[in-house]
Structure 1
Amino acid sequence: MGMMVVARRVDAPAHEVRYEFGFEDRFDRVLVIDPQTLAASVEDGDFNDAASAITAKIVSSWRKAGDFPQRMLYAS
């Protein structure tokens, strides 16, 4: 079974980048990425497959473009 995870950047102070994310267009979770270390966590503490997949896409985009994207989509 596939999944589609969507994220949108909501805040990017100097010490972290925050994304609301969820399945399809339900932005019901928050992902936090440290721009210095690229360490990621989720506010609800459940770093599951969806969080891992969207984090990998966001970090890959950052490595290619040098900036954190406004929106990201992961589909499998």
Structure 2
Amino acid sequence: MGMMVVGRKVAETAEQVRYEFGLDRRFDRVLTIDKRTWDVAAEDGRFDSAAGAVASKIKRAWQEQGEFPPGVVFAS
């Protein structure tokens, strides 16, 4: 069975960026990325496949564009 995870940037400071994300456009979780270390944490403490997928898409977009994207979609 496939999975679709969508993330949207909700806050960005000099130190970190935050994304709301969730399965099938349900933005019910929050991911925080430390810009200096690239430490990634899910606010609910569950770093599962959905959190990993959205974090990977964010990092890939950042590497390609040089900035954190306003949103990402992962579909498998």
Partners of 2:67 and 2:25 in 1: CA distance: 23
Partners of 2:39 and 2:24 in 1: CA distance: 24
Match in the other structure for 2:26: 26
Q: Which runs of 5+ in 2 are unaligned?
A: none
Match in the other structure for 1:65: 65
Tell me the CA shift for residue 70 of structure 1.
0.1
Tell me the CA shift for residue 36 of structure 1.
1.1
Total equivalences in the alignment: 76
Partners of 1:34 and 1:26 in 2: CA distance: 24
Match in the other structure for 1:2: 2
Partners of 2:32 and 2:63 in 1: CA distance: 17
Report the TM-score, using the length of structure 1 for normalisation.
Answer: 0.97
Residue identity (%):
51
The one-letter amino acid of 2:51's match is A
Tell me the CA shift for residue 38 of structure 1.
1.3
**1:56 paired to 2:56:** yes
Tell me the CA shift for residue 2 of structure 1.
0.9
Match in the other structure for 1:12: 12
SS at match of 2:35: coil
Partners of 2:24 and 2:35 in 1: CA distance: 25
